């Protein structure tokens, strides 16, 4: 189950790119202080923001040993891969060492209605709508303004892009990438590690490792 914020600790984001900056905005809207980000040595923070790089992940075991953690790495998919392997690897590493410090991020503007099950370290960002009967798996991202309707089942490590619409009773397997503004019709099943192209309409089931073009 998800780890909600039981106390007001400062927060560190793992990663410092564009998704991290979006995450920073939601965390601050939740009333949390974001100290900065940890990133690989030599990587600069995304331009135009205020997210300071504090060092690499080694610091999470040293002087940054009590703060909340949020995974700020997104994905760049292609026809052949979801691009989510880095984000998943970070989650699996951190959950084995610091599970209780990884938190779910739920933007105050998100609308969550009825009986919704939210997994561990989930991110539900600005303007998202999730309706009753839906299950959101661990380490899954519901990105800006997407809509997940009633009775959907979203697997672990999945990324639902900005403005995507999942109609009722959609089943999405583990590790899928749903592109921005994609529409998945009611009752569709999407197999694990599938890629749904941005702007596409999914009218039939997609097999595991499959690709739904525009």
Q: Is residue 76 part of a domain?
A: yes
Domain hosting 94: range is 11-101
Evaluate whether residue 66 is within a structural domain: yes
Mind giving me the DSSP string for the chain? -----SS---EEEE--SHHHHHHHHHHHHTT--EEEEE--TTPPPPTTS---EEE-GGGGGTT--SSEEEE-------SS--S-HHHHHHHHHHHHHHGGGB--EE-TT-EE-SS-EE-TT-EE-TT-EE-TT-EE-TT-EE-TT-EE-TT-EE-TT-EE-TT-EE-TT-EE-TT-EE-TT-EE-TT-EE-TT-EE-TT-EE-S-B-TT-EE--
Has residue 141 been placed in a domain?
no
- Whether 108 is in a domain gets the answer no
For the chain, the domain total comes to 1
Residue 212 lies in a domain: no
> The pTM is what?
0.93
Q: Over the stretch 50-106, which tens digit does the pLDDT of each residue have?
A: 899 999 888 998 888 899 999 999 998 998 899 999 999 999 999 999 999 999 999
Residue 68 lies in a domain: yes
Q: What is the mean pLDDT of the chain?
A: 93
For residue 64, give the CATH number of its domain.
3.40.50.20
189 part of a folded domain: no
121 domain-assigned: no
| Tens digits of residue pLDDT in 133-171 | 999 999 999 999 999 999 999 999 999 999 999 999 999
- Residue 1 predicted with pLDDT over 50: no
């Amino acid at each position: 189950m998800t780890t909600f914020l039981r106390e007001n600790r400062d927060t560190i984001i793992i990663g410092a790119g564009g998704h991290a900056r979006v995450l920073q905005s939601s965390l601050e809207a939740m009333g949390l202080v974001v100290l900065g980000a940890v990133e690989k040595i030599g990587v600069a923070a995304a331009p135009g923001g205020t997210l300071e790089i504090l060092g690499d992940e080694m610091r999470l075991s040293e002087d940054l040993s009590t703060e909340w953690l949020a995974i700020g790495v997104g994905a760049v998919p292609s026809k052949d891969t979801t691009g989510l392997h880095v984000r998943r690897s970070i989650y699996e590493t951190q959950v084995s060492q610091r599970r209780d410090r990884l938190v779910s991020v739920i933007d105050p503007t998100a609308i969550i209605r009825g009986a919704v099950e939210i997994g561990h370290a989930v991110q539900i960002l600005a303007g998202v709508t999730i309706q009753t009967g839906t299950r959101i798996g661990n380490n899954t991202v519901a990105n800006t303004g997407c809509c997940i309707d009633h009775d959907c089942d979203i697997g672990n490590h999945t990324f639902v892009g900005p403005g995507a619409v999942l109609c009722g009773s959609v089943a999405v397997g583990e590790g899928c990438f749903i592109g921005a503004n994609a529409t998945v019709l009611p009752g569709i099943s999407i197999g694990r590690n599938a890629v749904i192209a941005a702007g596409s309409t999914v009218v039939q089931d997609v097999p595991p490792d499959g690709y739904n073009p525009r």
